Amino acid sequence: FKNKRQDFVIIEKWLLNTTKSAASELVITLEPTGVYHEALMYFLHEQGFNIILANPGKAKKYADALNIIHKTDKSDATMLAHYGCAK
């Protein structure tokens, strides 16, 4: 996906179709990436999703507690999903 509004609509549809849930039932956990996360975060919030913006330092400590040693996009996504559920 690209960080463009037209792709945000595709992300929204994918989330709703994949989970078979309403936006209000889903929690999306994001980790700040400069300003690049903001547009998607605000878009999803406007669509009714519950948003958690994880503190990067706390997320790192959470990953350490889970003994996640190798930092990859996949391990970060999994860790943030667990982090969001633990909140």
- pLDDT confidence tier of residue 70, bands split at 50, 70 and 90: confident
Of 34, 27, 35, 31, which is closest to residue 51 (Cα–Cα)? Answer: 27
pTM equals 0.84
Q: How do residues 7-24 score in pLDDT, each as one tens digit? A: 999 999 999 999 999 999
Q: What is the pLDDT of residue 86?
A: 83
